[in-house]
Amino acid sequence: MKDLNKYIFFTIEQKLLDFLLINTDKQYTEKEIGNLTGMKKSSINLALHSLVESGFVARKKIGRTSLYSVNSDHIIVKELKILQNLLLIYPLIEKLKLESQKIILFGSSAKGTNTAESDIDIFVQANDIEKIRRIISSSQLRDKIQLIAKTPKEMLAINNQKPLFFQEIEKGKLIWENYGKQ
């Protein structure tokens, strides 16, 4: 599967923002960013200045040192974080689509508030739940995925009761829906 990030995050500013989006709960100096990303210091300096000016990145001065982090309160940053999450799970979703009727991303990953340590919450409706579990367990993301999988029959019973948890799932991001299959 192609790395779709390279089509969306290709300028220095975008790559830097991508790095900071992955690490939303951390602050970095320019030198640390350079060591972790392999980008040149001069490029990092110009890109950070531009990103701070735009409001995407926050700068905190401690003495002569500047620490940089993504501005998680920025509405566009949250949407970029959701996009980044979708790009991360895209290869898995492509496999799950073949065996499911409905896929929903929910929780912090769907809201753009997740951190590097957050689980990725996915709901899947399918006839063969074991097949779905096998697809997840063969994925590189298996340790991060928090799967809720139900059959159409189970969903019918749940929909009649409308428990609070499933109302939360329904507020998530619908990624795939196709009732013509399965």
Which tens digits make up the pLDDT trace of 123-163?
999 999 999 999 999 999 999 999 999 999 998 888 777 77
pLDDT of residue 2: 55
- Quickly tell me which residue has 């640390």 as its tokens: 32
What is the largest distance, in Å, between two alpha-carbon atoms of the chain? Answer: 62
Burial code (b: 16+ CB inside 10 Å, e: under 16) for 43-80 equals bbeebbeebeeeebbbeeeeeeebebbbbbebeebbeb
The model's confidence at residue 85, banded by pLDDT at 50, 70 and 90, is very high
Label each residue of 136-160 as H, E or C.
HHCCCCCCCEEEEEECHHHHHHHHH
pLDDT of residue 182: 46
Report the pLDDT averaged over residues 160-181: 83
d(CA 70, CA 151): 39
In this prediction the pTM is 0.86
pLDDT of residue 170: 87
Question: What proportion of the chain, given as a percentage, has pLDDT over 90?
Answer: 76
Q: What architecture is domain 5-70?
A: Orthogonal Bundle (1.10)
**Residue 1 pLDDT exceeds 60:** no
Domain boundaries for CATH 3.30.460.10 within the chain:
78-177
pLDDT of residue 108: 95
Domain boundaries for CATH 1.10.10.10 within the chain:
5-70
CATH, range 78-177? 3.30.460.10
d(CA 147, CA 106): 10
Report the pLDDT averaged over residues 1-18: 78
